[in-house]
């Protein structure tokens, strides 16, 4: 029984990975909520300024949903790739993403005033420019953190993202208590810019701590890959207990002789392997987030009350509410990628036309996503009901100090809370496409954004919106898109199954 539980809760099993991922996601979500509380304590009119950090994160998300999302298909393919090759790909991903994040941060620093003009209400715009400048380098910390987290999850090391989250939240809470809380040390008046500086410093420290932990944790394996072992030169990744629902059909390939350490270093060769699926994911993210930011700019223009309500609404929906969805998504991506890689290895990784795929193989591939779907619905349905009945308004009232903002926020949540149940479902089943056929993931996203979101975004521009009538349009944009996306991805998944089962599939080859 003890060995059974150990195997089921090991980090390389579905259950163990889910526990690590949930812990890694819940800590930042909890802190993002505490940030609003700290700032509301200092000056409730500046709560809307903290949304700048979120909007910089949306720009950074275009990078973070590019190459890192190739991890599940490329780095997660442990059936066809040696541990050394997977580590080399991870190191390349981390270095390349960090460089891109640094370049983006410098751009935000240079354009801080213009950024504030677009994404901060006019009432607090002048006071928010320095906040933008300080937060600019959050794009760099986010790029580094995401690259480390995605690559290590694909390497069956979800403890690394947990280390990052633990360091980040622990440092943030301690320093916030010492520097910006009402109990802070000293007699100075805490400001929102101090909070931004503390948050940036902690995020950078956590990202580098996670990177250091990852490199040290794999040092022993790296040494083994640098030379022949004691068994006559056969090098392979150590086996670990894996949940039988996602267990590979084939053992990891053994490699004869001496494996040079150069395979572990970042290289252009590894970058080219990551680029093709990564660019597909980046294009999808760019289109989706550009439309979102376009809509956000119209929201900010409606004034502080509406913009603050929208920011608090986002704190609710992307905070603790979405932790189960994100945790289950990361877990599903990992194990769908493992099973798909094992099957591709069994038929030959360069085989583009495998013929009719048996139902058993298809079901084994989608099983992690279906488990995640069931768990997501079990959690999100009652959570949405509870928040609608008694949670949204008091939370918004405390943060904003305004009954008007609280009423708008509660109305926003009450009108489209049920749509996030569809979001939870579509997120889980979409992992099947992202971890197996990235172009198909792009196609379903394009259909959703170009056929539904874009027409509504244009309508919002054409209509003369004010704070009284804007939500009439925005509820259909943000809530309706979630329902449309669920229907869209369901149709694409059904087509994916039919094409595989009928033998009409022409598979992609994401190898050098």
Q: Express each pLDDT in 241-296 by its tens digit.
A: 334 444 444 333 333 333 455 567 888 888 998 988 888 888 888 888 888 888 88
* Domain total of the chain: 1
**Is the predicted pLDDT of residue 411 greater than 80, yes or no?**
yes
Q: In this structure, is residue 114 part of a structural domain?
A: yes
How many Å apart are CA 333 and CA 481, to the nearest integer?
A: 23
How many Å apart are CA 58 and CA 61, to the nearest integer?
A: 5
**Is the predicted pLDDT of residue 510 greater than 80, yes or no?**
no
What pLDDT is recorded for position 90? 92
> Do 35 and 28 meet the contact criterion of CB atoms below 8 Å apart?
no
**Is the predicted pLDDT of residue 370 greater than 60, yes or no?**
yes
- Using CA atoms, how far residue 3 sits from 7, 112, 306, in Å, is 6, 55, 55
Residue carrying structure tokens 């790296």: 222
Give tens-digit pLDDT for 426-473.
Answer: 999 999 999 999 889 989 999 999 999 999 888 888 878 887 888 888
Q: How confident is the model at residue 56 (pLDDT cuts 50, 70, 90)?
A: confident
> Do 235 and 193 meet the contact criterion of CB atoms below 8 Å apart?
no
Residue 235, helix vs strand vs coil: strand
Residue range of the domain that includes 189:
2-231+264-502
Q: In this structure, is residue 252 part of a structural domain?
A: no
Nearest to 474 by CA among 282, 316, 314: 314
Least confident of 3-12, 132-141, 222-231, 456-465: 222-231
Least confident of 158-162, 272-276, 389-393: 389-393
Q: In this structure, is residue 245 part of a structural domain?
A: no
Give tens-digit pLDDT for 189-229.
Answer: 777 788 788 888 999 999 999 999 998 887 755 565 555 44
469 φ, ψ (degrees, to nearest 5): -115, -5
Q: In this structure, is residue 288 part of a structural domain?
A: yes
Q: In this structure, is residue 247 part of a structural domain?
A: no
Q: In this structure, is residue 259 part of a structural domain?
A: no
66 CB-side CA count, 13 A: 24
Q: In this structure, is residue 217 part of a structural domain?
A: yes
How many Å apart are CA 111 and CA 299, to the nearest integer?
A: 21
Q: In this structure, is residue 409 part of a structural domain?
A: yes
How many Å apart are CA 401 and CA 352, to the nearest integer?
A: 60
Q: Is 434 left (phi over 0), alpha (psi -120 to 50) or beta?
A: alpha
> Do 36 and 315 meet the contact criterion of CB atoms below 8 Å apart?
yes
Q: What is the pTM of this model?
A: 0.78
Q: Please state, for a pLDDT cut of 90, what percent of the chain lies above it.
A: 27
């Amino acid at each position: 029984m003890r060995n059974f539980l150990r195997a089921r809760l090991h980090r390389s099993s579905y259950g163990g990975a889910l526990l690590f991922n949930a812990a890694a996601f819940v800590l930042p979500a909890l802190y993002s909520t505490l940030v609003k509380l700290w700032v509301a304590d200092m000056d409730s009119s500046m709560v809307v300024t903290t949304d700048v950090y979120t909007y910089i994160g949306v720009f950074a998300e275009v990078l973070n949903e590019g190459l890192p999302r190739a991890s599940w298909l490329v780095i997660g393919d442990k059936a066809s790739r040696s541990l050394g090759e997977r580590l080399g790909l991870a190191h390349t991903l981390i270095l390349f993403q960090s460089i891109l994040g640094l370049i983006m941060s410098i751009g935000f620093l240079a354009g801080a005033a213009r950024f504030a003009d677009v994404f901060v209400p006019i009432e607090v715009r002048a006071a928010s420019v320095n906040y933008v400048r300080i937060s600019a380098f959050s794009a760099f910390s986010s790029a580094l953190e995401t690259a480390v987290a995605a690559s290590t999850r694909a390497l069956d090391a979800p403890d690394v993202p947990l280390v990052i989250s633990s360091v980040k939240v622990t440092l943030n809470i301690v320093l916030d208590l010492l520097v910006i809380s009402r109990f802070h040390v000293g007699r100075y008046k805490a400001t929102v810019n101090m909070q931004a500086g503390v948050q940036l410093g902690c995020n950078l420290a956590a990202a580098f701590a996670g990177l250091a932990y990852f490199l040290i944790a794999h040092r022993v394996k790296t040494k083994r890959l640098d030379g022949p072992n004691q068994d006559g030169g056969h090098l392979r990744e150590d086996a670990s207990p894996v949940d039988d629902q996602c267990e590979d059909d084939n053992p990891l390939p053994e490699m004869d002789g001496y494996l040079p350490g150069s395979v572990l270093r970042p290289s252009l060769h590894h970058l080219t392997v990551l680029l093709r699926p990564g660019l597909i994911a980046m294009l999808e993210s760019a289109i989706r987030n550009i439309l979102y930011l376009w809509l956000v700019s119209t929201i900010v223009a409606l004034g502080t009350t509406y913009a603050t309500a929208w920011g608090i609404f986002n704190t609710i929906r992307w905070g603790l509410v979405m932790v189960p969805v994100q945790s289950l998504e990361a877990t599903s991506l990992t194990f769908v990628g493992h099973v798909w890689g094992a099957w591709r290895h069994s038929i030959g990784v360069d085989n583009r036309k495998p013929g009719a795929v048996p139902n058993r193989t298809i079901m084994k591939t989608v099983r992690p996503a279906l488990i995640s779907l069931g768990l997501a619905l079990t959690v999100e349905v009652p959570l949405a009901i509870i928040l609608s009945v008694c949670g949204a308004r008091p939370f918004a009232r405390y943060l904003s100090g305004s009954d008007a903002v609280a009423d708008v926020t509660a109305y926003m949540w009450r009108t489209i809370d049920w749509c996030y149940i569809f979001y939870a479902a579509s997120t889980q089943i979409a992992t099947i496409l992202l971890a197996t056929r990235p172009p198909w993931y792009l196609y379903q996203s394009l259909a959703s954004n170009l056929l539904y979101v874009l027409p509504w975004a244009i309508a919002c521009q054409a209509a003369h919106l004010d704070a009284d009538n804007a939500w009439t349009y925005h509820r259909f944009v943000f809530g309706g898109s979630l329902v449309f996306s669920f229907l869209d991805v369901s149709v694409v998944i059904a087509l994916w199954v039919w094409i595989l089962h009928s033998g009409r599939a022409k598979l992609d080859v994401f190898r050098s």
